[in-house]
Amino acid sequence: MEQTSTILGLLAQTSIHAGTGQQTGVIDLPIQREGHNGWPCVFGSAVKGALRTRAEQHKLAALKKNEVLLVLDARTYQDKVQQSDDIAVVFGPPPGVAEIKHAGALIVTDARLLLFPVRSLTSQFKWVTCPAALRRYQADCQRLGGDFPKVTIPQPQDQDGKSQAIVPTGSPEDDLFLEEYRFSVRREDLSSLIAMLADLMATADAAGLLEQQLVVVSDNSFAHIVNHSTPVNAHISIDAQTKTVRDGGLWYEETLPPETLLYLGLSASDGRKEGAAMDAGKVLGSVLGLFTDKPWLQLGGNETVGMGWCAVKPVAKGG
Amino acid sequence: MGDTQQQLWRFKALDTWFFRESRPMESVGGSELLSAFPPSPRTLAGAIRSVVGEHHRVDWRQWKDKAQQPPLKQRIGDADGLGKLTVSGPWLACENAEGEVERLFPVPRNLVALREGNSIKQTLRMQVGKPRYCDLGKAVRMAASPLLEAKTAALEDEWINATTLYQVLMGGICQPDALVTTRNLFAREARLGIARDNMSRSVETGLLYQTRHVRPMQNVIVEMGVTGLLADDHPMQGVVRFGGEGRGAAYAVQPLTDTCFPTKVQANSHTHGILLMLLTPAGMANASGETAYAPLPGFQCTEQSGATVWRGQLQGIPLTLHCAIQGKPVREGGWDLANNQPRAVQSLIPAGSVYYLTVDNGDIPAAIDTLHLTQLPAEQNELALGRGLLAVGLWPDNELMGKE
């Protein structure tokens, strides 16, 4: 089978609100989380929708640049943009099409959490991860078939009611405070782990930043932190005439903070659309090509208030 | 080109899976669509066929042409059949930290739980009750709880390994700590989806949907035995589109070296009859096309010692059916990708269902030898899908109430 896969790193630049659309507790608009461990994520369907939007914008810009598309009505948009071969083959027919004759050629996984930024008394913030998240990343790398590094995963030991955090050898702290929790520190050489993580981060001197800010905590501590340290902001809606809060216009919205590192897997197969030959390599290439000039992707809701922007970095190409 | 081989295909979730229950999206109004799990054999067979077809660069649009019968099509079939493929499963399995994989089976329905709060205090074996008047006949034996005063519950969300299943088939019970509960295998995740008009950046009218995906734990595997493929028909590992909503699975193929099934039981002096357990769901449409109700294919209702029983043969063994414990029917539909249409929904007797039979010629050891790990009679397509696989257990003589 002609199939090729890769992993994309997504480093949040602004807060991300990928909501569940359903209220589960005191938070009116909670974010998406994995069912079995409660870790935040962005569901694959939301990521695929964001990629499709990006592809349509890219196509639209190309058509306008070449003056092919001068009149933008709904029918023209569907025919020239959404139903164009390079979009329909990759993502499948657009929503609302009467007859679906083929499936898309791209599998998009959930965007999964790898590094979570946490307030710390001793520095700007710490990038926190845990052995389970790192193991899963390595397993995903293996499944998606690329040439990925094998890294020994640090193992923090919580004991006697005290939580342990593993930090790089150059870290100055003896005790570490994450939110209001105190961790005892163990220093280890994390250079190979830092190299693996930095490879996912589209930011200058990622390795240098991780040398100062990477923390590996136990799986239990990580689960507690990612369930209780996400920003929850109160929002109100104001009546424009009276300048007072509308009745019922108060809600609490949860977000993933900026600097969160997520990753997702892409796996492409040969295109299935009749008359449009695209092999797996071309399918994957067309998606990666969306980020050549502008390596940004908008994920989740509240786009018009600047939320959801991630810096995208393709890591490796396997298959 | 080499010989076909017996293979074991193992699938692991990339994240979540969605195997839509047999209801269309449009029919449900505000309620959500659940995911079946484990998936149907047809779903897995379809995924395997996709891997093979794409490896051979098949043009699926020409595949529908009935006149075209290339060798590969004869081997892997089309929307109407599996060709020369036969599959077994799918089975749930768990991988431990050492990489050892243990297959899981549904708990036989003749085992029930005595609960204390949310935990299971002990398991109990059901009895074959005294004959009662009911819609199936004048004096039908139905299963009865051994503790009439206590509340017992079915073990529908629990699984056991082959060793424990063997103990149960031998007439024993299983300890509560040998039960693997569903919540330790996978979580269910509610999804609320919208379709967005990317031109106006607004929600498309009428395209709001609710689904419930399953998220298997990282150590959970869905496996399926496959025969009929050549070693060079496919890559030995990769990623494949799996089930609905464009979800994916990582697969790995290996030769099938171990059957992973419970071993054959041995009859003893306290054995009254045999107990047939369905390891995979079974369709009850008779191969001969009979439409009258028959609890087992070809069995006919009659009277024996004042009780209503059903008589028939399986694999040439003459048998009398006295009692059955069946789970809720499994409704199985699916999507015909090649013809772009839903498949007809069929009702199946679920795996774990149990039948109590006596052997008419009295040769219980021969019946065990002949029937263990065989399939109930069915149409060829259903047999190829692995339907109605049987494990034989013992029916001890102390599990018959009002014995003459």
Tell me the per-residue pLDDT of B114-151, one tens digit each, with 9 for 90 and over.
Answer: 988 888 889 999 999 888 888 888 888 999 888 877 78
Comparing A236 with B340, the larger pLDDT belongs to A236
Contact B246 A48 (CB under 8 A): yes
**Encoding tokens for residue A124?**
């700007």
At B30, the pLDDT band (50, 70, 90 cuts) reads: low
Amino acid at B354: V
Distance between CA B303 and CA B316 in Å, rounded?
A: 21
SS3 call for B46: helix
At B345, the pLDDT band (50, 70, 90 cuts) reads: confident
Q: How far is A6 from chain B (nearest CA, A)?
A: 11
**Encoding tokens for residue A226?**
């990612």
- Lowest-confidence segment of B101-110, B134-143, B155-164, B328-337 by average pLDDT: B328-337
At B340, the pLDDT band (50, 70, 90 cuts) reads: low
Distance between CA A264 and CA A136 in Å, rounded?
A: 12
Contact A109 B241 (CB under 8 A): no
* Model pLDDT, residue B400: 84
Distance between CA A318 and CA B238 in Å, rounded?
A: 11
Is the CB of residue A101 less than 8 Å away from at least one CB of chain B? yes
Count CB neighbours of B14 within 10 A. Answer: 26
Crossing angle, helix A206-213 and helix A191-198, to 10 degrees? 130
Average pLDDT, chain B: 86
Under 8 Å between Cβ of B352 and B9: no
Query: Pairing relation of β-strands A214-217 and A125-129?
Result: parallel
CB nearest to B218's CB, from A82, A104, A136: A136
Q: How far is B13 from chain A (nearest CA, A)?
A: 10
Is the CB of residue B55 less than 8 Å away from at least one CB of chain A? yes
Q: Which range, A111-115, A267-271, B154-158, B336-340, has the best average confidence (pLDDT)?
A: A111-115
Nearest CA to B359 out of B330, B399, B392 is that of B392
* Model pLDDT, residue A318: 41
Nearest CA to B227 out of B7, B3, B53 is that of B7
CB nearest to B14's CB, from A45, A77, A109: A109
Contact A103 B337 (CB under 8 A): yes
Phi, psi at A71, each rounded to 5°: -110, 125
- Indicate the pTM of the whole model: 0.87
Mean pLDDT, rounded, for B247-268: 89
Listing DSSP states for A193-207 in one string gives: HHHHHHTT--STTHH
Contact A269 B241 (CB under 8 A): yes
- Residue environment code for A187-219, b if the CB has 16+ CB neighbours within 10 A, otherwise e: ebebeebbebbbbbbbeeebeebbbebbbbbbb
Distance between CA A144 and CA A109 in Å, rounded?
A: 11
Mean pLDDT, rounded, for B332-343: 72
Distance between CA A276 and CA A85 in Å, rounded?
A: 6
The Cβ-side half-sphere exposure at B114, using a 13 Å CA radius, reads: 15
For the cut 60, the answer to whether the pLDDT of residue B295 exceeds it is yes
Distance between CA A135 and CA A115 in Å, rounded?
A: 13
Distance between CA A109 and CA A91 in Å, rounded?
A: 13
Percent of chain B with pLDDT over 90: 43
Amino acid at A203: T
Distance between CA A207 and CA A196 in Å, rounded?
A: 9
* Model pLDDT, residue B337: 66
* Model pLDDT, residue A13: 96
Comparing B355 with B208, the larger pLDDT belongs to B355
Is the CB of residue A20 less than 8 Å away from at least one CB of chain B? yes
Query: Pairing relation of β-strands A181-188 and A163-168?
Result: parallel
For the cut 80, the answer to whether the pLDDT of residue B75 exceeds it is yes
* Model pLDDT, residue B280: 95
Distance between CA A146 and CA A83 in Å, rounded?
A: 31
Q: How far is A115 from chain B (nearest CA, A)?
A: 18
Contact B192 A5 (CB under 8 A): no
At B404, the pLDDT band (50, 70, 90 cuts) reads: very low
Place of tokens 């082959």: B162
Whether the complex's predicted ipTM is more than 0.90 is answered with no
B90 preceded by cis ω (within 30°)?
yes
* Per-position pLDDT tens, chain A of length 319: 455 889 999 999 999 999 887 776 788 899 999 988 999 999 999 999 999 999 998 888 888 887 776 667 777 888 788 888 888 889 988 776 666 677 888 999 999 999 999 999 888 899 999 999 999 999 999 888 666 778 899 999 988 778 999 999 988 888 899 988 899 999 999 999 999 999 999 999 999 999 999 999 999 999 999 999 999 999 898 988 888 888 888 889 999 999 999 999 999 988 877 777 788 899 999 999 999 989 999 998 888 889 999 999 998 544 3
Give the CA dihedral B13, A44, A145, A219, nearest 10 degrees: -70
Distance between CA B327 and CA B333 in Å, rounded?
A: 18
* Model pLDDT, residue B338: 65
DSSP E strand stretches across B294-353: 300-304, 307-314, 317-325, 330-332, 335-336, 341-342, 346-348
Phi, psi at A25, each rounded to 5°: -165, -135
Phi, psi at B298, each rounded to 5°: 80, 0
For the cut 80, the answer to whether the pLDDT of residue B290 exceeds it is no
Contact B207 A1 (CB under 8 A): no
Residues 6+ apart with CB under 8 A from B294: B284, B286, B300, B310, B312
At B289, the pLDDT band (50, 70, 90 cuts) reads: low
Crossing angle, helix A219-228 and helix A131-143, to 10 degrees? 90
* Model pLDDT, residue B80: 77
Is the CB of residue B65 less than 8 Å away from at least one CB of chain A? no
Is the CB of residue B305 less than 8 Å away from at least one CB of chain A? no
Under 8 Å between Cβ of B109 and B124: no
CB nearest to A2's CB, from B15, B54, B207: B54
Burial class of B289 by CB neighbour count within 10 A (0 to 12, 13 to 18, 19+): exposed
Q: How far is B205 from chain A (nearest CA, A)?
A: 9
